Each structure stands twice: as C-alpha cells, then as structure tokens.
Structure 1
Amino acid sequence: MMQRLNPTNPLRIVAGRSSRMPTPSPSQTPLPRSTPTPHLITPPSQTPMPRATLTPQTSPPRSTPTPQPSVTTLSSRRYTNKISLFLFVFHMVAAVGLVSFLIFKGIQGLIEASESVKRKEKNILKFYLPQVETASLLSITLAFAWQKAVRQWPRIMVHFILWSSFFLSLSAGILLICFQRATTDAVGVCLIAFAIGNGLYACWVTPRIGFCTEILIKSLEPVPKLGDLNRPTYCMLGVGFLWMSLWILAVIGAMNFYLTPVVIIALVLSLTWTAEVMRNIVNLTVSRVIVLYYLRGMQSSTLSCFQRALTLNLGSACLGSLFVPTIEALRIVVRGLNLLEGEDEFMFSCAHCCLDVMQCIFRYGNGWAFVQIAAYGKGFVQASQDTWHLFQRQGMEPIVDSDITSSVCFLAGVCSGSICVIAVAAWTAKVHQTFTATLSLLSFFIGYLMTRIAMALPHACVSCYYVCYAENPSNILFDKTIQDHQTMMAANRDDVVPTPRLPHRFSA
C-alpha cells in the first residue's frame, strides 16, 4: 500500500497513533534509516522501509485531497442568467419585427391609403417627427453635459441637481397648464405634483449631501487615469439615438394600424427595457474596469470589458434591468411611509409590512449587485446576496441605505426631461397645439432615458467604491472616510437620516 502511494503527496506516519499529517516540503533532506527516531517513516519515494516496521495501531494511509480552486474568480467565462438573456433576445427579435412592420404600414399609408389618411400621416410627419428628433439630440447633449459637470464639480452639482430638478419640473408643469387644454393640464398637474415631492425630498436629504459628495469625489479619482472609460457611453447613446428614430417611425405607423393604444404601450415598455439594458451594459463595463483597478491595481482594456458585458454578463444586465427600477421605486415608497408613520395602526402596519418587503428584496436583488456581476461573473441574485452579506459583515447597511447617488442620477434624468418638455412644448404649441401633450410626455421620456445612460458612469464608480471597500477595507486606495462615518453614526454624532430597516416603535 505504501508503494502505491502518489509520490507527489508525501506522508509522515506517526507510529503508535492513528493520525497522519503532511510532511514538510520535498526540498528538506529525509532522515537516514539509522536515525534513532522510531516515530517517523519516510515515504517510499525517498527511502523504502520494510512493511514490518509499521505498528498495528497505524491505520492505512490515504493521499491528501487536492485543494479545489476558488469559485470566485475574476476571469470567469460562463454566461450568467441565461433565461433572462434568452427572453431579452427573443424580445429584441420581436421588437425589431414589430418596428419594421409598423414602418412598412406607415409607408403604405402614405402611398396607398385614402386622402384623409395620407393627410393625417403627413401632418404627423411634419409636426411630430422633427420635435422628437430634436428632443433626442437635445437629450444626448444634456446627458454629456450632466456627466461632465458631475465629474468636474461634484460639490456643486449634487446641490444643483437636487434643486434644479424641482424648479425645472415645476416650470414645465406651469408651462403646460398655461396652454389651457385638458390634456396639457393633466400632464402639467402631474409634473407640479412631482416637483412638490421632489422639493420635500431635497429638504429631507440635505444632511446627507456632504458625505455623498465626499464619496463621489473619491470614487471618481480613477476616471482620469482611464482615458477611454467613456467610450461605451458613446456607443450606447449612438445606438439609442438610432433605435429611437426607428421607434418614432413605428409609433407613427401604429396610428395606421389596429389596436393603436395597445401597440403603443407595448412599444413604450419595449423601449424602456431596452434603454435600461443599455444603461446597465455601461454600468457593467465601468464596474469591471474600476473593480480591476481597486482589487488588482491594473488598468484593464475598456474594450474587452465592454465585450464581456455584451456577451457573458448580458443576461444579468437584462434581469437587473427588470428588478432594479422596481426596487428603487419601492425604496422611495418605503421612505415616504416611514416618514408618515404615526399612531395610526393601519399606516403603521403598512409601513412595517413594506419595510419587511424591502429588507427581503434588498437581500435578493439590489443595484449594488452589478459590481460583483462585473467582477466575478455571478448571477444577479447570487451577486445581490453576496454583496449585501459584505455590507452586513462590515456594518455598512445604514451607509449604503442612506446613499443618494442613485437619486442624484435619477433627478439628473428628470432635469433633462423637463428641459426637453419646455423646449418641445413651446415649439409644438406654435405649430400644432393638438400634439402638445403627447409630444411633451414623449420628450420627457426620451430626455430621461438618454441621461440615465450617461449617468451610469458616476453611479458605477460610487457602487464600486462601496463594494470594493466592503470586500477589502485595508486597501491602500481607500481612506478613512467610510470608517469615520461609521464611527460618527455609531456615536450618534452624525446628521445623516438613514433609511430605517425597523419601524420607529421597535428601534429602541
């Protein structure tokens, strides 16, 4: 049995006992046979020993098991969330087919339809298409402007975005009400209501702005060292503009087809999911580059990270694009219910229920997961669980709950949408006032989506800073900003109002 042992796994057998332990490295000199140490027997690869020298108490030796490689690797080559990837690819095939068919119906209506239909479609092309294309170009310009400003002047832009979103949405709502039409009044009232809630939110999160600004400054430090980090954003915005142009032509063609409202709703949902996937592709690409910078200290190729996000991690981007916006909306609702919670039992029960739901959802699906998806190639749910476990291990849940970076990026999109509404509504009211409400909604939608794609870069940088710090707080690339903030929060000397994870009644 000793002769059949693998020579690459040498053993040291203790006579008179049943325990076995590995020998030192093979570079050490084996003991000669004359050495008076009856407790040690060298392996057969070094000095053979007769079988009779083994005592009866010694159990048959076994080879040491070979250690398995770690599951978490930075070079994983497997596809993640294949089911969601298949659904998205199937959806894109169906969307391309539907858009092509509706464009064909629109052209057919211009050529073969009756005079009334031709006149209607010509009016749509004349008074509808130019405004939408202008809104698309304006939103791309604003998207780059917001991103550049946030990278250059983060201390000013966090305040500016919070309050300019309030004033711009309020101005857009008042402008639409001034047109004195039922449709524009409805859209204007919605914008004014949103502006009021936005203003209350800006007042509520004012104590958090200082820490948010410090983290934003620290997380954006690697960006100047990575010169081509913005190229995925250029690609996604270019593709988004082309797809948006075809999409608008499909909407025009849908007006010459059956079940027009249903078809337009389907087109809007398809565009929303597609734009979110493009945003998360940029998010995954930037996260991969920044994660390798933090964890390995290396400057990786942005192109290779972009290709990885488009192939291996695309399924996770598709799945996260469905869940993360819903989760972020739920966070806003939960915070609002917690602020309104009082002695009313029904309101207290609703707040408590929503807090429990939020805690469960954040464990299985959160926006921080994209960092570990980009780094280790994990699935969306597994990455969400592992990321939240890291935050819990470091005691960072109150800090990441109170982070307002995602809100700042969201409100930057609202600013762009409101500017597009003001420009398009004023233009449309002069040339064809009937289309004002429809074009106002559409231009707001386009401005918001385009800006969110561009703002994925600073959002990804902040997410990487939090997650990589939670994974290795002793990294020399991190300072004591988060640690000092945790100390202040533990000592109740911090002004931050964290998102509560337990109702006030039980917090004590």
Structure 2
Amino acid sequence: MSSCAGTGFENRTKMVRQLFQVLFYLHLLLTAGMVIFITVYGLTSDSGRNHFHPFKWYPPILASTACGGIIGFMWQWITFKNPRKALKAAFWLSPLLTCLMSAIFVYIGTALSLAVGTVSFVSAVAQSLYGCWVSPRFEYATNILSVSTAFPPAKTKVLTLSSILIGILYGCFLVFGIGGAKALQNKVKLVFLFILVIMLSLCWTMQFLKNVIQVTISRVAYQHIVGVNVDTHVAIWDTIKHFAGSIAIGSILVPFITLFRSFARSIFLLGKHETMFSCVGCYMGMSSVLVNIGNRWGFVHVGLYNKGFVQASSDTWEMFTRVGMLPLIDSDLTGTLCFLSGVAVGAICSMVSGIWSLVLHHSYALEVSIYAFLIGYFMCRLAMGWVQACVAAYYVAYAENPESTQMDSTIPVRLEQIQRSQALQLF
C-alpha cells in the first residue's frame, strides 16, 4: 500500500515538474513573439515615429545592460580573489550607491520620481543599519566564502561568462520590446500590461538562469568535497535536460518566500509590543512553514538526487534541523552578500542610464533608470550564482556527514560560538 502511495506521489511530482518545464519554455516562446511584434509594430507605426525617439531611449539602457554584465563578472572575480574585501565593500557600497541613485531620482523632478527616490533613500538607510547590525558576522562569512570557493569547479568561468552573455542578449531583446511598447503608449491604452509581462519574463528567466548555475555548480562542488569528480559539461547538460522543471518551480517560489521571510523578520524585530504579538507570531509561523517547502539550499539536492524542488527543500531543511544547523543557516550572510552586490551593480547601471537620459531626453530618465536597475541587479546575481552554489554545497555536505574527514573545522567552530552565545543570553 505504501509502495503504491509512494509511486503515486512520484508520478504527481514528475507531472508537475514536466508541466512547469513546458510552461517556462512556452512563456519564452510567447514572450519572444510578443516582443518581436510590439517592436516592429511600435517602431513602424505613425504614432511611434511621431512621439517616440528610439535613438534617445535605447542607447542609455542598452549601454547600462552591457555595463551590468561587465561589472558583475568583475565583481565575482574580486569576490573569489579576496572575499574579505568584497564582503566589506558590498556592505558599504550598496547603501552609498543606492543613496546616490535616490538623488538622481529626486533630481528628475516628477512626483513619481520623488516617490521612487524616497523609497531608495529609505532602503539605503536600512542597508546601512543592517550592515552595522551584522558586522560581527563578517569574520565567519569571510571564512565560509574562502573555504567553499577555494577550489571552484572546472570551467566555472566559462559557465559564468556564458550565462552573463545570455543574460545580456535576453535583456537587450526585452529592452527592444519595452521600447516598442513605449512607442505605442499614445495609441494603445493598456501598454503598461505589455511592459509588465515583459518585466515578469525578465525576472523569471534571470532567476532560472541563475538557478541553472546554482544546481550545476553545487552538484559539482559537492561531489568534489566527497571525493568524486564530475565533469562540468556533463553536469550542465543533465541540469538542462532533467532538472529544468524543478528549477522553474524554484525560480518562482524562492524569491517570494525569501521576500516574505525577510518581511517577517523585520516585523519580529519591530513588533515586540504586546498589541503586535499575535501578528508577529502569525508571520513567523507562516515563514517557518514556507521556508520548509522552498529554500535555495534545496537546489543542491535537486542536482544531486533529481528530486522535485519542494521535496528537496523539505529534506534539506529537515537535515539542517536534525544536525542543529538552523541558527547557522539563519545567520549566513552569503545570500545577503549576493543581494547587496546586485543592488550596488543595479544602482550603477541606473545612474549610468539616468544621467545619460537626463542629457539626451529628460522625460525618459525615470523609466530608463528603473529598467536599468533591474537588469543590472540580475546581471550581478547571474555572475554571483556560482559563489552562492559553492557555499550551499559546502553546508549540505557538512549536514549530511558532520563527521566526514573531508570537512574542516569552519562550521563546527562557528556552531560552538553560537551555542556559547545563546548560553550566555540565558543568564
């Protein structure tokens, strides 16, 4: 009976993975068709020729897209060569560059740009405060980055560069579609829906590309830790051929769950007043449930054991709980490093395109700056994907066999420090 139930569950999981794989590739096909149609129609219509200036709209954002890819590749190289300086630079540069970006938005001078500038400034302040709060964790974060990326898998640079080039090409392709929609704004009332669909496609596709790297590199890095060699070309082919459905699911779930969990933690820190206690408990409880079914550590088991993403996330989280690693996982700064690096690169791209647009055509500055920020952010996240994958593989390898002689003392020493700190707080 249990065997039949298990087989039924596996079949349902396989069907869901296949469904999401088809949906992802279908969305790429439909998006490509829509972008081509909108671009051609928008730029050749009378409305587009009369009200839209492509030579003033496209150059800033296309240049910033290429800029994001170049800076992102350089940044992952700096992180590999000197993790300590890269970590500190990310926590200092991200709020500074975000603040400068907010000044550009305020200078643009519209009501919407003022609102965006205010949000950016508040974000910069929050990043600064967070950096001060987590500064005691920098030493361990540097150690885990150093030990996990000390021997990157073969062909990592080639894979990273290839993903960045694909990201740049796809980003530029979608930018042409946004420009075509912009040309039709005086003729078609629902142009913003086309732009929204294009931006959602950008987010899902970039997350997918990043997670392809995550699954591939984490698998190779894990196998290297346990003493097994796997060719990176074989791993990337297996990822694309067998794991695309799970990656497509994870590329939707992880960003939403991460955002919700960050929001829940913020409420927990700010909501210790009695009147907010029930709300805090509700959010934290939901956060715990969601992270169990969708977390970035699950991508390691997706590549290693060909599990469905939800099952891989659940198994990985239960394993962390069983060996007492949750406090360490919760305090890990690798994800924050990659996020702040993305924000910093996005801010640079936003300022490049914003200043350029202010010189060429003032009315394009706000929207071009926002699009450039998002594209620059994802370019950097693509570049940093292999770093995050190596750290994830290291954690999972330790959790599966804490007594392994292949592991050094980085994690055990940190766990002991956390336990001593928690014991002191009880007194």
State TM-score, norm by structure 1. 0.77
Q: How do 1:162-201 and structure 2 match up within 5 A?
A: 162-201=91-130
**Equivalent of 2:203 in 254, 260, 272:** 272
Equivalent position of 1:55 in the other structure: none
* Cα shift at 1:493: 6.7
Q: Deviations over 1:403-438 (max 9, x none)?
A: 111011011000001111222211111111111111
Equivalent position of 1:249 in the other structure: 176
- Does the 8 Å CA contact 1:219/1:461 hold for their aligned counterparts? yes
1:186 and 1:291 mapped to 2: Cα distance? 45
* Cα shift at 1:80: 7.9
Residue identity opposite 1:249 in structure 2: F
Equivalent position of 1:338 in the other structure: 268
**Equivalent of 1:283 in 207, 214, 223:** 214
* Cα shift at 1:488: 2.2
The change in CA–CA distance for 1:156 and 1:355 in structure 2 (over 3 A counts) is same
Equivalent position of 1:130 in the other structure: 59
2:263 and 2:397 mapped to 1: Cα distance? 29
- Does the 8 Å CA contact 2:293/2:313 hold for their aligned counterparts? yes
Q: Deviations over 1:416-473 (max 9, x none)?
A: 0111122221111111111111111011011001111111011001101101100012
Equivalent position of 1:118 in the other structure: 49
Match of 1:221, SS state, is coil
2:322 and 2:272 mapped to 1: Cα distance? 32
* Cα shift at 1:367: 0.9
Equivalent position of 1:23 in the other structure: none
Equivalent position of 1:214 in the other structure: 143
Corresponding position: 1:232 with 2:135: no
* Cα shift at 1:214: 0.9
Equivalent position of 1:263 in the other structure: 194
Gaps (5+ residues) in structure 1? 1-70, 72-77, 498-506
Equivalent position of 1:309 in the other structure: 239
2:173 and 2:411 mapped to 1: Cα distance? 46
Q: Deviations over 1:260-318 (max 9, x none)?
A: 011111111111111110111111111121121123x1332111111111110111110
Corresponding position: 1:451 with 2:387: no
Gaps (5+ residues) in structure 2? 1-6, 8-13
- Does the 8 Å CA contact 1:251/1:264 hold for their aligned counterparts? yes
Q: How do 1:81-160 and structure 2 match up within 5 A?
A: 81-109=17-45, 113=46, 117-121=48-52, 123=53, 125-160=54-89
1:177 and 1:310 mapped to 2: Cα distance? 44
Match of 1:128, SS state, is helix
- Does the 8 Å CA contact 2:73/2:161 hold for their aligned counterparts? no
2:361 and 2:423 mapped to 1: Cα distance? 54
1:311 and 1:409 mapped to 2: Cα distance? 27
- Does the 8 Å CA contact 1:80/1:313 hold for their aligned counterparts? no
Match of 2:404, SS state, is coil
Residue identity opposite 1:488 in structure 2: Q
Indicate the structure with greater helix content.
Answer: 2
Match of 2:421, SS state, is coil
Equivalent position of 2:4 in the other structure: none
- Does the 8 Å CA contact 1:165/1:414 hold for their aligned counterparts? yes
1:252 and 1:342 mapped to 2: Cα distance? 47
2:415 and 2:115 mapped to 1: Cα distance? 45
User: Where in structure 1 do 4 or more consecutive aligned residues deviate above 3 Å?
Assistant: none
The change in CA–CA distance for 1:494 and 1:421 in structure 2 (over 3 A counts) is farther
Match of 1:479, SS state, is coil
The change in CA–CA distance for 1:80 and 1:292 in structure 2 (over 3 A counts) is farther
Residue identity opposite 1:429 in structure 2: L
1:133 and 1:416 mapped to 2: Cα distance? 15
Q: Which has the higher contact order (CA 8 A, sep 6+)?
A: 2
Aligned length: 411
Corresponding position: 1:461 with 2:397: no
Q: Deviations over 1:171-203 (max 9, x none)?
A: 111232134333332221121011111111112
